[in-house]
């Protein structure tokens, strides 16, 4: 009974819309009104182009009521365009509802789907459940009950997904905070290493002086990323890091203190005690009786 009532209501709405569409239609060309004008005698609507062609080519009278009519007597109806647009919208809505209702009905009995066959996992109408031979001995449930169960299940899964998303957001925030700290710490360590390299006898003092502007700018970009942590600051820091390390390597190579390992080994092996002093001679005079002999001795220091 409910389905029949729905059918009657649907058909009634369609008839009303069709009646309105017939009223707001040109009685000459029987198409949609374009630049609608009204006859002052019979109040019939028609397109201005159609009635003008009729009055100029046929006769100077209304094609509907046959009363004498001229172009200047026609009444321009600007409001008709809005009405026709509303009628078209109602027609489109009705056609969409018809498609939806046809999709939600049983293709065999044209009844509304109200039963869910748990065995076949599909929606059927009550006639298929009671007298349909293909569903005999199957398990049935009301379609509304199954729908509510699925809605509850989907809501639970959505709540779980939301919690998971919040956990992922907090994890991403922790990773961003860690990246900020690591970037700032990394730039500070690099600057300190470059300043200490001359004292570690790796490079000369010019390396510390020449690398200082690069390190200061690198630390500035790291500080900006630490404060803002947006895509712009991170992109600048990453791009400059691609240039910073090769530049430091080049400056270190140019300002290297010892070019070969043999130079450092020779300087380490050189000690003060290994220096040889020149030989000196000393003459000692010893008495030998009446004769004084001269003896030559060599002393090494």
- Going by the DSSP 8-state scheme, the letter that residue 279 receives in this structure is P
| 3-state secondary structure (DSSP) of residue 261 | helix
- Write out the residue range of the structural domain in which residue 36 sits: 13-102
- Going by the DSSP 8-state scheme, the letter that residue 105 receives in this structure is B
> Which helix or strand (DSSP H or E) is residue 179 part of?
helix 143-196
- Print pLDDT tens along the chain (301 aa): 444 444 445 556 677 777 777 777 888 888 888 888 888 888 888 888 888 888 888 788 888 888 888 888 888 888 888 888 888 888 777 776 666 555 667 777 667 777 888 788 787 877 777 776 677 778 888 878 888 888 999 999 999 999 999 999 888 888 888 888 898 899 999 999 889 888 888 888 888 898 999 999 999 999 999 888 888 888 999 999 899 989 999 988 888 876 655 555 455 555 455 445 455 444 444 444 444 444 444 444 4
- The candidate with the shortest Cα–Cα distance to 45, out of 74, 71, 82, is 74
Q: How many domains are contained in the chain?
A: 2
* Final residue belonging to a domain, choices 243, 259, 275: 259
Q: Please state the pTM of the whole predicted model.
A: 0.40
CA distance 143 to 127: 14
Q: Are residues 176 and 253 in the same domain?
A: yes
Q: Count how many residues are written for the chain.
A: 301
Q: Are residues 173 and 248 in the same domain?
A: yes
């Amino acid at each position: 009974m409910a389905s029949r009532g729905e059918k009657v209501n649907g058909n009634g709405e369609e008839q009303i819309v069709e009646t309105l569409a017939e009223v707001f239609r040109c009685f000459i060309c029987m198409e949609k009104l374009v630049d609608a004008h009204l006859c002052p005698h019979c109040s019939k609507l028609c397109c201005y182009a159609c009635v003008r062609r009729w009055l100029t080519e046929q006769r100077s009278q209304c094609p509907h009521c046959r009363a004498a009519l001229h172009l200047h007597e026609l009444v321009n109806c600007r409001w008709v365009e809005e009405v026709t647009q509303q009628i078209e919208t109602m027609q489109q809505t009705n056609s969409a509802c018809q498609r939806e209702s046809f999709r939600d009905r049983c293709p065999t009995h044209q009844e509304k789907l109200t039963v869910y066959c748990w065995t076949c996992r599909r929606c059927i109408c009550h006639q298929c459940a009671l007298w349909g031979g293909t569903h005999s001995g199957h398990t049935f449930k009301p379609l509304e009950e199954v729908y509510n169960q699925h809605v509850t299940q989907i809501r639970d899964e959505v709540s779980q997904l939301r919690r998971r998303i919040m956990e992922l957001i907090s994890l991403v925030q922790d990773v961003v905070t860690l990246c900020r700290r690591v970037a700032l710490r990394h730039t500070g360590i690099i600057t300190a290493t470059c300043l200490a390299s001359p004292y570690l006898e790796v490079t000369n003092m010019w390396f510390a002086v020449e690398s200082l502007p690069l390190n200061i700018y690198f630390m500035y970009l790291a500080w900006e990323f630490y404060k803002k942590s947006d895509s712009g600051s991170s992109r600048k820091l990453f791009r400059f890091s691609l240039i910073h390390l090769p530049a430091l390597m080049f400056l270190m190579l140019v300002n290297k203190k010892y070019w070969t390992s043999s130079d450092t080994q020779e300087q380490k092996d050189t000690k003060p005690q290994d220096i040889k002093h020149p030989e000196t001679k000393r003459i000692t005079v010893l008495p030998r009786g009446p004769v004084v002999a001269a003896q030559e001795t060599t002393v090494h220091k």
